[in-house]
Amino acid sequence: MLGKLFGRGATKRSVTLSPLDAREIDGSFNAVVGESYHQDNLKATLASEGREFLAILVHELGNKHDPNAVMVYSAQGQLGYLPREDAPDWAPLLDRLTAEGCQGMAVDGKIHGGTNDKPSLGCVVTLPRDQSDVIDALND
């Protein structure tokens, strides 16, 4: 799957995708998990984009732990996953977007932490409240 996500000759710090842009769709904050494994990418995202960044959601096909796993990316690489309990709601939609030629879905992301009292970084993403709005955007 990583071969599809990273362009030819690209490094792990250079992600190029052509996602459906869902940033203008009304949404709400959603947690991201597993950020502790991706601190370098979070730091690079913070340095290059600031606390607010473009996040890309991609269904990780073939994940042996969770067939519905949804990865969260920035231009700097993977930042984490949607929580296991939320992923089954989004994986089928992301599969449909892929079938229509989109490489994931672009949403707003926000980095938190990185302070003296909370040195580790984490992030949240804004997911559309209504998936039918995503389908409408796909059909436009």
Q: Where are the domains of the chain?
A: 20-139
What sign results for the dihedral spanned by CA atoms 134, 135, 138, 139?
negative
- Kindly write down the DSSP assignment for every residue of 36-88, as one continuous string: GGGHHHHHHHHHHH-SEEEEEEEE-TT-SS-TT-EEEEETTEEEEE--TTTHH
% of the chain with per-residue pLDDT over 90: 85
Residue 106 has phi, psi (to 5 degrees) of: -85, 130
Q: Residue 4: what pLDDT?
A: 38
| Least-confidence region, from 12-16, 26-30, 107-111, 119-123 | 12-16
The pTM for the full model equals: 0.86
Which residues have a Cβ under 8 Å from the Cβ of 60 and sit 6 or more positions away?
Answer: 1, 69, 70, 71, 81
Q: pLDDT-based confidence at 140, cuts 50/70/90?
A: confident
Is the CATH number of domain 20-139 3.40.50.11060? Answer: no
For residue range 54-88, what is the model confidence (pLDDT) as tens digits? 999 999 999 999 999 999 999 999 999 999 999 99
Give the burial string for 47-56 (b: 16+ CB within 10 Å, else e).
eeeeeebbbb
